[in-house]
Amino acid sequence: MTTTLENINREIIKSYSHSFSEEERINKILDHINDKKQEYSILTKCLNKLGSLLTKITWIDDISTSDEVIISGIIAMGKTSDKHFKKFYSAQRRIYVPKGLFKDDFKEMKKAMDFHIEAVLEVEHIIFDLRKNDDFKKLSSLVDEL
């Protein structure tokens, strides 16, 4: 093969093009990682906020029967959403954990998911079980006498 300027030029152009497309590919991957990180962070924040809001329900005074209907709706929504969150979490983990990605993000998301469902179940227990319990009702009035 004769080394002519034409040949070298052709090879140089090919290499540059290849390096540009490689750079573009890396940039796309990095953008995707950043997008995913942001997506997980938003979901984690939302779940933590939901958990905090749910705990606030137990601090509301004079909960009426119609309030209980609303709370039942919130609890049902929480349980259904939890199933979706769990599916999403498992699917995403299956894709990215074997590649060694987002380990800490998934850990924080799992913590937030646990907090969320714990809050849902705790509110359900407090409003619809504990507060209806006769022994607990008696105890509640005793506490206020102290």
On the CB side of 126, CA atoms within 13 Å amount to 17
Smallest distance from other proteins to CB 27, Å: 28
Residue 129 lies near other proteins (rule: CB under 8 A) = yes
Please identify which residue in 1, 110, 113, 120 interacts with other proteins, judged by CB under 8 A.
Answer: 110
* Segment 55 to 74, residues that bind other proteins, using CB under 8 A: 55, 58-59, 61-63
Residue 85 lies near other proteins (rule: CB under 8 A) = no
On the 0-12 / 13-18 / 19+ scale of CB atoms within 10 A, 28 is: exposed
Residue 125 lies near other proteins (rule: CB under 8 A) = yes
Distances (CA, A) of 37 to 3, 101, 102: 49, 10, 7
CB 115 within 8 A of CB 51: yes
CB 109 within 8 A of CB 47: yes
Instruction: For 133, list phi and psi in degrees, rounded to 5.
Output: -75, 125
Please identify which residue in 37, 82, 106, 108 interacts with other proteins, judged by CB under 8 A.
Answer: 108
Residue 79 lies near other proteins (rule: CB under 8 A) = no
Runs of H (alpha helix) within the chain? 5-57, 65-96, 103-128, 134-145
* Segment 38 to 57, residues that bind other proteins, using CB under 8 A: 51-52, 55
Residue 6 lies near other proteins (rule: CB under 8 A) = no
CB 115 within 8 A of CB 48: yes
Site string for other proteins, 17-36 (x = CB under 8 A): --------------------
Residues that bind other proteins (CB under 8 A): 51-52, 55, 58-59, 61-63, 104, 107-108, 110-111, 114-115, 118, 121-123, 125-126, 129-131, 133, 135-136, 139-140, 142-144, 146
